A and B are shown apart, each in its own frame.
Chain A
Amino acid sequence: MGMVISILLGFLIFGYAGWMMIRFIRTSRQGKCATCAIKEACGQKDCHCGEKKEPV
């Protein structure tokens, strides 16, 4: 029984941790959209926000 619970917990913990790391690396690449306050309600298809990428 202990082994079963250990395996289940192991999958949960390490699976969740691994998924969070992958998502974090993907989100970091998004830069501004990752921290955008309305990203969940955003109606934009991509994150270019209507402007070309211009350096300072």
Chain B
Amino acid sequence: MEVALIGNPNTGKTSLFNYLTGSYALIGNWSGVTVEKKVGRLKNRDGLLIDLPGIYTVAPLSKDESVTSRFLIDNHFSQIVNIVDASQLERNLQLTIELLELGKPVVIALNMMDVAKHRGMEIDRLSLSKLLRVPVIPIVARSGRGCHLVSESLSASAADRPHTFRIDYGSESERAISRLSLFFPESGVNRRWLAIQALEGNKDARNRIQSETDRNDAIEASCDLRKALQENGQAETVSDWFYQIRKKYIHEIIRQVVRHREEMNQTALSTKIDALVTNKFAGIPLFLGIMYLIFHITFEWIGNPLSNLLDAFFSGPLTDWTRQALNAAGVATVIRDVVLNGIIAGVGGVIVFVPQIFVLFFFLSWIEDSGYMTRVALVMDRLMQLVGLNGKAFIPLVIGFGCNIPGVMAARTIEQPKERLLTVLISPLMSCSARLTVYSLFAGVFFARYQALVVLSLYALSIVLAMLMAKLFSLFMKKETSVFVLELPPYRLPNLRTIMRSTWDKAKGFVRKATTFILGGTILVWALSYFGTAGANVPLDHSFLAMICGFLAPLVAPLGFGSWQAASALISGFMAKESVVSTLSMVYHTAAAGSLTESIRQSFTPLQAYSFMVFTLLYIPCMSTVPAIKHEVGSTKLTLFTMGYCVALAYTVSFIVYRLGLLAGF
């Protein structure tokens, strides 16, 4: 049994998916979070559930919507769960009608019943079920209420009971539909449905017509119908006409099933908040202020104090106990060294930043779930337009603040190819959470009183440079016009369970990464630092690592950190940005200095530290991001170009920052 989960964007599909499969896919209170299909095994049932990107109509506008369109046409599923936002019934039922016309068994999960009730709407779900001739199950996906009934309603034998649903689109349209139906193969997807889709301009449906002559006939039929509708003054396009017919049908349904209690002005508070947060003068400063507050709490109030405690523990008691245990066991020097100076110093140096990661992600999840992040995209639209993008591009960039890979993938929500390409090209400049470990280290050591400001300056710098690079790249691309249409989700009090789960998963992921491939990389770097031409246990300056990185040190000297140690950290950062800190922990670790922070304090000046952070912010995307970029741009040349320009930009900006800083006397 394969069940497709389909609905408008931001209606709770992924929440329902998580509940029904017992897994955890990323949720956010904004459209564009799911950009490709995800398949999970149904809990306690034998079957698969397929979560698809949200769509308003089947005919796709953007690349992620075409995933859903193609999926429906490919027909590898037996039934549909259509999740409908009860508080936006009229708009959601447009898609429901199209799904019913497909002829597959449908179950409607009527979500956000709590929001509808809050807005004074009473929905008679039994009447709705009777009118649409499908089961309608009220749920609240965020809390899981009613979701078990959706699972119970799914039946392996449902596919044997095809569902018939038909709307009369008028005599001329019906003639065109009948004519086009004949072009599609008899077996497979419902021919009438394909004909309707083809008339509405769905290219995926048209491509199902095998013969080119028939395809041309189909286009001609669509044009003829459009002309007829225009001449009769009925509609400008075929899809407009179909939309009107469906709307009339939906209005009749709503008249029978929805009752409004008192006229509740639920939108008053949302409107007041939006008047402030989307104000063209106050919007961006407000956003910057909120981010500053978040960084302040993350670094100065909670993150760094906890981090310092952890650092003191790792470099103090843990190291001492481990050394004593290894000495007592009589292990060889090399093993003692790899454990103390490799694993504890290296991996420990990364794990101490878990508090910052945890707190920052907690707050970012909070503002995502509240619905505020979409407003930020709206506010940023004015700035983005100056550089050839629109505000929708801001959402993938914000996702990139967590990890660049989903940020790169989220560019699929952008309809225009040029804007999509630009967004992918500038995504690696977004300061991902892995880079946070570097900022936490240096900002904590050199800018203790201004950590939040310093980190905010780096995030702001990444956005400004991303905009500048987008403007530069757009000069070499053909101009496109685009319309910025963004759905503002309702404000809601973030669900603490969802946020905690998201935050916990990210923190867990961070620790898992540190104890797996960062550990692997750390051991590799340790080995290079332990062995040299003179053999084993050589002084650090005579190790293979020093020899290799010594060639690169002069290259980065103009940037203020021309030591082989800094070069080695940057090279390891290509593997994963967290490795920058683990490598620094190892190469700067000396008995005299004690902790890493002391070692760093002795090896850098504040200006050099800031220059290093700027370089880390901008230079090469990590090894995991590169294949994601290649997949999205579809070209090795463009991928290499992305890697190259990031390094060049990092070098240039770092150089400017350092030299200007010297001139200013820092």
Contact = CB atoms under 8 A, between A and B. Distances in A.
Contacts of A36: 38
Contact of A31 (B40, B41, B71, B627): B627
Interface in B616-666: 623-624, 626-628, 630-635
Contacts of B39: 42-44
Interface residues of B, number: 58
A14 to B, nearest CB: 7
Contacts of B517: 20-21, 23-24
B631 A28 contact: no
B329 interface: yes
A10 B634 contact: no
A53 B634 contact: yes
A17 B356 CA distance: 26
B40 to A, nearest CB: 5
Given A5-B329, A38-B25, A41-B41, A53 B631 contact: yes
B246 to A, nearest CB: 27
A20 B520 CA distance: 6
Interface string A11-44: 0011011111101110111111011111011111
Given A17-B520, A20-B519, A32 B405 contact: yes
Nearest to B67: A51
Contacts of B37: 49-50
Contacts of B635: 55
B572 interface: no
B331 A9 contact: yes
Contacts of B329: 1-2, 5
Contacts of A13: 335, 338-339, 343, 523
Interface string B198-219: 0000000000000000000000
A35 to B, nearest CB: 5
A51 to B, nearest CB: 6
B332 A2 contact: yes
Interface stretch (B16-24, B150-158, B586-594): B16-24
A47 B405 CA distance: 15
Interface string B503-547: 001000000000011011111100000000000000000000000
Contact of B521 (A21, A27, A40): A21
A32 B631 contact: yes
Contacts of B330: 1-3, 5
B424 A49 contact: no
A35 B406 contact: yes
A54 B635 CA distance: 10
A26 B3 CA distance: 31
Contact of A5 (B331, B421, B627): B331
Interface of B: 21-26, 36-41, 48, 63, 66-67, 70-71, 74, 329-332, 334-335, 338-339, 343, 403, 405-406, 409, 411, 417, 420-421, 424, 505, 516-517, 519-524, 575, 623-624, 626-628, 630-635
Question: Nearest 5 pairs between A and B by C-beta?
Answer: A55-B634, A2-B330, A20-B520, A24-B517, A17-B523
22 contacts: A2-B332, A9-B331, A17-B524, A20-B516, A23-B517, A25-B623, A28-B626, A29-B627, A32-B405, A32-B628, A34-B624, A35-B403, A36-B38, A37-B23, A42-B39, A43-B39, A49-B67, A50-B37, A50-B70, A50-B71, A55-B635, A56-B411
